[in-house]
Copies of this chain bind each other. A is one copy, B any other.
Amino acid sequence: MLENLIQIIRDPERISTSAAVRQQHSQDLTSYHAQHLPDVVIFPKDKEELREIVAYANRIRCPIVPFGLGTSVEGQVVPIQGGISLDFTHMSRILEIRQDDFAVRVEPGVTRLQLNQELKKYGLFFPIDPGVDATLGGMAATNASGCSAVRYGMTREQILGMEAVLADGSFIHTGSLAKKSSAGYNLTGLLAGSEGTLAVFTELTLRVYALPETFLYAKVVFPDLHKVCKAANRMLYRSIQPSKLELVDEYTIQAINAYKQTAYVEKPTLFLELSGWNSTVTAEWERVHEIIRDEGAVEWDHTFDEAFGEQLWDSRRHAALAIAAAAPKKKLMTTDVCVPLSVLPEAVLYAREVMQIEGLQGAILGHIGDGNYHAVFPIDPSLAEEAAKADKINELIVRFALERGGTCTGEHGVGLGKRQYLAEEHGDAVLWMKRIKEVFDPNHILNPGKIF
């Protein structure tokens, strides 16, 4: 097999069986999922080479697992059946920036920060922000979203078109450069979120947006969780469109204070960002101010000061690490349910309750405008008891969400961690997903064992 792959790659630098490289491609960066080594790691230089690798792998029935930066959290990059880990490091070119079309064409290895760095020169940006940096291919594969989804939606909704290699080694082109289309079945939206199980992306055409001129940052402290949610809901009613709207509960604030030496009031808090230009943002803040006063906010800071904003979002991003810091040797388990907006307060309180019952301390972070929240806690997967507790917490939180019309994963994808809940959430629809999988990947070489 290696012989044949070397024939295809013709560059020893871009194919590796070293223990270190295989190790690096054996698991998510931070998640609790067990590692598994790939047999070989390949760094394709372009889509034609990638196509040849997939075609060859299909002939010999060898698993292919795409790898971006390894920031997935449900084990999407773990080669549980070995085979080839496909690293996109060398396929990270920004192919075209179409300023007047608000569109870009990129290779899947481009990261969102790399893209935004470049887009800045054009007064544009790609809004999806899952917190960490990640490759756009990986974000498309898991349909990632994050803090800005409340305004801009999910990654899937940013993808105008794709080029991908199918299991049979053929290219497929979906979508177009047009912002809208009703031309046939929505293959773009089907491949987006398929977690590498239907195709391997080779090019993405993405929507980009005008970079807002002004950002207003606010931290609003509330007496209790219900008030935070009520205030957020009222903002949506008043047609306020925050670019970020995040719930951070009091225990998480404690962890942040300990980790970042901040002195945030340790109560349920809303982290808010408004963006646009001065006059509109100011007008929006007036309206927000009314609402939070009305809902009994204890105290609030708001400012145009970027340093304040950076600290605010930096502490939001590090909340999980703050929790992890308390237990350096452990791995993180993160729940990712998304519930109807009205259910969020009780869902978060329930999550906090089950964590306390199980005696695991964790952070709770909520994309409050979407009903999507994370309970994040450090565990040592090698300790059977701890792993069992974590699984139980996860299961209770997921079941609570599903019973109320929610979903088991709002933005992380199914990967390995949510497979057991897919049928519970979708029932017979899962059979039809599997039939689609059979059509696209009859030999099960594309990220086998993920989703199903």
Chain A residues packing against B (C-beta within 8 Å): 98, 100-103, 123, 142-145, 149, 153-154, 156-157, 166, 170-174, 176-187, 189-190, 192-194, 198, 209-210, 212-213, 233, 236-239, 241, 275-277, 279-280, 283-284, 286-287, 336, 338-343, 367, 370-372, 401, 404-414, 418, 421-422, 425-430, 432-433, 435-437, 439-440, 451
Which residues in B have their C-beta under 8 angstroms from that of A123?
A: 237
Cβ contact within 8 Å between B143 and A182 = yes
Which residues in B have their C-beta under 8 angstroms from that of A238?
A: 210, 213, 277
A250 to B329, CA, bound (A): 70
Residue of B nearest to A415 (CB): B182
* Given A184-B451, A239-B276, A178-B210 contact (CB < 8 Å): no
Cβ contact within 8 Å between B276 and A184 = no
Taking the closest CB of chain B, its distance from the CB of A24, in whole angstroms, is: 25
Taking the closest CB of chain B, its distance from the CB of A401, in whole angstroms, is: 8
Cβ contact within 8 Å between B183 and A414 = yes
* Given A341-B101, A439-B435, A173-B414 contact (CB < 8 Å): no
Cβ contact within 8 Å between A183 and B409 = yes
Contact of A102 among B166, B341, B401, B418 (CB under 8 A): B341
Residue of B nearest to A123 (CB): B237
* Given A179-B338, A286-B279, A406-B177, A184-B239 contact (CB < 8 Å): no
Cβ contact within 8 Å between B210 and A277 = no
Residue of B nearest to A105 (CB): B405
Cβ contact within 8 Å between B182 and A412 = yes
A178 to B343, CA, bound (A): 10
Cβ contact within 8 Å between A210 and B186 = no
Taking the closest CB of chain B, its distance from the CB of A175, in whole angstroms, is: 8
Contact of A411 among B182, B279, B440 (CB under 8 A): B182
Cβ contact within 8 Å between B340 and A414 = no
Cβ contact within 8 Å between A407 and B153 = no
* Given A173-B426, A439-B436, A101-B154 contact (CB < 8 Å): no
Residue of B nearest to A427 (CB): B173
Residue of B nearest to A279 (CB): B283
Cβ contact within 8 Å between A407 and B371 = no
Taking the closest CB of chain B, its distance from the CB of A158, in whole angstroms, is: 11
Cβ contact within 8 Å between B173 and A436 = no
A432 to B441, CA, bound (A): 12
Residue of B nearest to A211 (CB): B239
Taking the closest CB of chain B, its distance from the CB of A153, in whole angstroms, is: 7
Show 8 A/B contacts (Cβ-Cβ < 8 Å), sorted by A. Answer: A98-B340, A173-B428, A181-B338, A183-B409, A185-B194, A187-B433, A189-B190, A280-B280
Which residues in B have their C-beta under 8 angstroms from that of A189?
A: 156, 186, 189-190
Contact of A142 among B177, B182, B414, B440 (CB under 8 A): B182
* Given A189-B190, A283-B283, A340-B103, A176-B435 contact (CB < 8 Å): no
Which residues in B have their C-beta under 8 angstroms from that of A435?
A: 439
Cβ contact within 8 Å between B181 and A409 = yes
Which residues in B have their C-beta under 8 angstroms from that of A430?
A: 184
Taking the closest CB of chain B, its distance from the CB of A229, in whole angstroms, is: 9
Contact of A210 among B171, B236, B408, B410 (CB under 8 A): B236
A209 to B238, CA, bound (A): 10
Cβ contact within 8 Å between A180 and B436 = no
Which residues in B have their C-beta under 8 angstroms from that of A372?
A: 178-180
Cβ contact within 8 Å between B414 and A184 = yes
Cβ contact within 8 Å between A174 and B338 = no
A437 to B436, CA, bound (A): 10
Cβ contact within 8 Å between A410 and B283 = no
A180 to B150, CA, bound (A): 10
Taking the closest CB of chain B, its distance from the CB of A89, in whole angstroms, is: 25
Cβ contact within 8 Å between A177 and B340 = yes
Cβ contact within 8 Å between B341 and A413 = no
* Given A157-B153, A178-B339, A212-B239 contact (CB < 8 Å): yes
